[in-house]
Structure 1
Amino acid sequence: MRGIITTMEDGLGVLEDRRRVHVPFAYPGDYVVVRSTRRRFGKLLARNFNLLEPSPLRQMPRCRHFGTCGGCLWQGLKYRAQLELKKEIFGKITRIKAEIKGSPKIWGFRNVSNFIVTTDGIGLKEYGNPFGVVRLKECPVFSKRTPEYLRALRDFLKETGLKPWNLRAKTGEVHYLQIREGKFTGEVMVNLIAHVEPSEGVLEAFKDYFSFATSLYWSLKHDERDDPHGEAELIAGEPYIRERIEDITYLIHPNSFFQTNSHALKLLLNAVEGFTDGERVLDLYSGVGTFGVWLARRGFKVEGIEINPFAVEMANRNAEINGVDAVFRVGKAEETPIENYDTVIVDPPRKGLKEAADLLVKSGVEGIVYVSCNPKAFKLDYERHLKKAYRIDGAVLIDMFPHTPHVEAIIGLVRKE
């Protein structure tokens, strides 16, 4: 089967002839031949394919691992074309016309990376292969220091004899190395996720090999799930690293979520602020207070609700160190009384608002700022619920994720008269 890629779907090029085939790392205008396919996630996925003639939208990828690593499906696409495609796809899904703002940096922008440590190598997951690992030598979207981090890890494992994780057998001792960087502070957090508690000798070696870290953690993992999560224990240095976005300092901990693109975060915060009106603001799904603390600094009176108690603790710490008028509480979004607020900020999980959408419709709130990286979830929330009481007042897209199909949308909703 051969032909020209006509469009994109879920980040993959689409080839339509007798069948509809999704081709990874292919873009509109590419002329490809697909030699074999497999069925996955309810679609035909090209497995063995060749690029015969490249699209004019193509560029030379910077990373040597492009095409096998699952991190950057769109690195072979010119950046301006990436932005146009994201805007087009968002518009097709939501029927909303929105401007898009590109990331100020498209290389070295990620502030966190999770390197998997396995018997087949250390690096990142291979695209389309749950047991495949790309043995990483560099990561241009994360950090110039990636080789340094990986070298320290390999030397540490060699000295201590700790066993890497076996993805198939689900056995081993070290599973992930998570690195976080404060892009504007220069601080570095190293967090090793392991299935064993460290001995005194192992801890001394850990501190020696990662002596450059501002904050050094060992996270004990109690399950066999393939994710970079564990019970974090501070080994050396500071309990948090800091990131500075304009006049706001954010504390970052191994178990707290923080937007992955520090350089584009200011654009996201400004967009949220632009749709925020009135005096009293409710930050629903407030997390560590990323939006709430920023808005409080700009004079809004902010209250936040978040289901995760640890995130609430972090949010209140962020409010305290910045000296702003914001209070965050533990609670479920769908059980929160919404009254006497002028604007509600919602940044729900990927599945969307669900029950909380009806709560917003019944409230007297004049404005909603909906933040989402999943336009399909927003569309469902709006068409099924929010449309009853609100109209769309505008939208802005912020490219928080260069070289991937994802984009962050900020949508302003105002109550119908």
Structure 2
Amino acid sequence: MTRKHKPFPILENVLIEAIAAEGKCLFHYEDKVVFVSFCVPGDIVDVQITKKKHSFMEGRIVRIVQYSKVRETPMCVHFGICGGCKWQNLPYEEQLKAKQQQVFDQLTRIGKIALPEFNPIMGSVKTKEYRNKLEFGCANKRWYTKEEIEAMPPREAGKEGNLNESAIGFHITGAFDKIYPIEKCLLMDDLHNQIRNEISRYAKAQGMSFYDIRAQHGLLRGLMMRNSNTGEFMLLVQFHYDEEGDEQRAQSLLRHVADRFPQITSLIYVDNQKGNDTFGDLELTTFKGTDFIYETMEDLKFKVGPKSFYQTNTEQAYHLYSVPRKFAALTGEELVYDLYTGTGTIANFVARRARRVIGIEYVPEAIEDAKENSKVNNIANTLFYAGDMKNILTDGFIAEHGRPDVIITDPPRAGMHPDVVRVILNAAPGRIVYVSCNPATQARDLQLMDTAYKVTAVQPVDMFPHTPHVENVVLLEKRDN
């Protein structure tokens, strides 16, 4: 016999006290912290406890008794379901305060190092349609909310092959196999909504199969969309060829999309037979137009391909990159290393104020784009290398290319590998500019460098309104000893 667990309690009329990490809020109950999503400080709510741990609990709201005075009406019809914009119910000014506090808390509590007074956070220029890239999953069985299920008439749902169950949308938080259909996302140019909805309509009308991630079967697998401030639009469609005729069906869909949306300047597709949706190691095929689009920043042009990393908030990227250029304080005589250079955006952005810039990046295609970006912009003082950072950036590499005066580093969320930190310390540049999308791992790395470098400036930057994510730029200068 299986042992039945007592159901967790519902706590009534609790006051939401403060904002916590990962877009959640918190309150205290019986000497424990309880974390809840989709609420704001000042809300009075009934909460169903869903998880109990030794030092904390998690819950979900079952009823809002009284709304907080700081609450804002969410702009999106999918708020509270897709999980992407957990702070739409919080005024933007309050979001910025919370992000500033998040950076301060993580650098002080995790880093435990001396810090200067922080600069006020730089808010995003746009708070709607600010993204230049979105990815959507396809599924043969869509996910339903509890409310949608309760409102349904009796039906035969969930049967294999029932195209009414198919969906294109976002993954439900914490569920790799559940897709919620998205009708309208307000984070990107509205054209992407029109394209995505038309692909869904056409595919269902033609009887195309949607992907089943568990069975790894189904033709239509995923979409990736990019647009740029030059007016270009890229669409990458991922297919999964299973049966005879699938390739012809895929071509038919691509022709329909190309004819229906002439705004698409780069239409690309791939047959992905892997167990996951990543396509960085796959060969892509261009159906129409080019295999890239251009972004501009000041008088520079940047070539961005489907595999390239580029900051997803185009307008705010300029303000973000202006910070490391300012912190680097270049005079034209410096050798600069740009680590995790991506498509060479920062490297080319600062190159005209440096003697030479050397960029290193893991993705070979991004490095080719970085070289092309230098060429397009007539920049001749950059060098780019592709490979794993800890394998490329070695003491031997520095001996060959020269000891940097300035290092700019913009690592992924995991931060820098300890070997990379060690080589940076051995290189002993006068200044290090650390751009981070995760202040927690940044704080850890700052602690590793604290014996040799002191933090002299901190500048938080908001790149993702309505989400808890925040970028942070730190200037480190070599200690006198």
1:10 Cα offset (Å):
2.2
CA contact (8 A) 1:187 1:214 kept: yes
Letter in 2 for 1:334: K
1:298 Cα offset (Å):
4.1
1:346 to 409, 416, 423: 409
1:174 Cα offset (Å):
1.5
2:444 to 361, 365, 380: 380
Letter in 2 for 1:118: A
In structure 1, distance between residues paired with 2:99 and 2:212: 37
CA contact (8 A) 2:28 2:34 kept: yes
Q: TM-score if structure 2 supplies the norm length?
A: 0.81
Aligned to 2:120: 99
1:200 Cα offset (Å):
4.2
Aligned to 1:12: 24
Structure 1 window deviating more from structure 2 (20-29 vs 222-231): it is 222-231
In structure 1, distance between residues paired with 2:279 and 2:52: 28
In structure 2, distance between residues paired with 1:361 and 1:201: 55
Aligned to 2:194: 148
Task: Please tell me the root mean square deviation across aligned C-alpha atoms, in Å.
Answer: 2.1
Give 3-state SS (helix, strand or coil) of 1:150's partner. Answer: helix
Letter in 2 for 1:329: Y
1:194 to 224, 228, 239: 239
Letter in 2 for 1:150: R
Aligned to 1:410: 473
Give 3-state SS (helix, strand or coil) of 2:96's partner. Answer: helix
1:125 Cα offset (Å):
2.0
Q: Deviations over 1:244-303 (max 9, x none)?
A: 122111111111111110010110110110111342211111111011011114455211
1:130 Cα offset (Å):
3.8
Aligned to 1:70: 83
Structure 1 window deviating more from structure 2 (366-375 vs 25-34): it is 25-34
Give 3-state SS (helix, strand or coil) of 1:210's partner. Answer: helix
In structure 1, distance between residues paired with 2:200 and 2:184: 14
1:136 Cα offset (Å):
1.0
CA contact (8 A) 2:404 2:427 kept: no
In structure 1, distance between residues paired with 2:429 and 2:303: 31
Q: Give the 5 Å matches for 1:165-314.
A: 165-182=211-228, 184-196=229-241, 199-200=247-248, 202-211=250-259, 212=262, 213-227=264-278, 230-278=282-330, 279-314=334-369
Q: Deviations over 1:341-388 (max 9, x none)?
A: 1110111121211221111112221000101111111111111x2101
Distance 1:318 1:366, change over 3 A: same
Structure 1 window deviating more from structure 2 (356-365 vs 266-275): it is 356-365
Identity among equivalent positions (%) equals 30
Give 3-state SS (helix, strand or coil) of 1:101's partner. Answer: coil
Q: Deviations over 1:150-181 (max 9, x none)?
A: 23212431354331112443322221111111
In structure 2, distance between residues paired with 1:228 and 1:116: 13
Q: TM-score if structure 1 supplies the norm length?
A: 0.93
Letter in 2 for 1:232: L
In structure 2, distance between residues paired with 1:130 and 1:334: 31
Distance 1:361 1:244, change over 3 A: same
CA contact (8 A) 1:170 1:224 kept: yes
Structure 1 window deviating more from structure 2 (137-146 vs 403-412): it is 137-146
Q: Deviations over 1:12-48 (max 9, x none)?
A: 11121123221111222222221231369x9633235
Give 3-state SS (helix, strand or coil) of 2:284's partner. Answer: strand
CA contact (8 A) 2:170 2:181 kept: yes
- Runs of 4+ in structure 1 deviating by more than 6 angstroms, as ranges, are none
In structure 2, distance between residues paired with 1:35 and 1:17: 13
1:202 Cα offset (Å):
3.4
Structure 1 residues without counterparts, runs of 5 or longer: none
CA contact (8 A) 1:221 1:231 kept: no
In structure 2, distance between residues paired with 1:24 and 1:167: 27
Aligned to 1:371: 435
Equivalent pairs counted in the alignment come to 414
Letter in 2 for 1:393: T
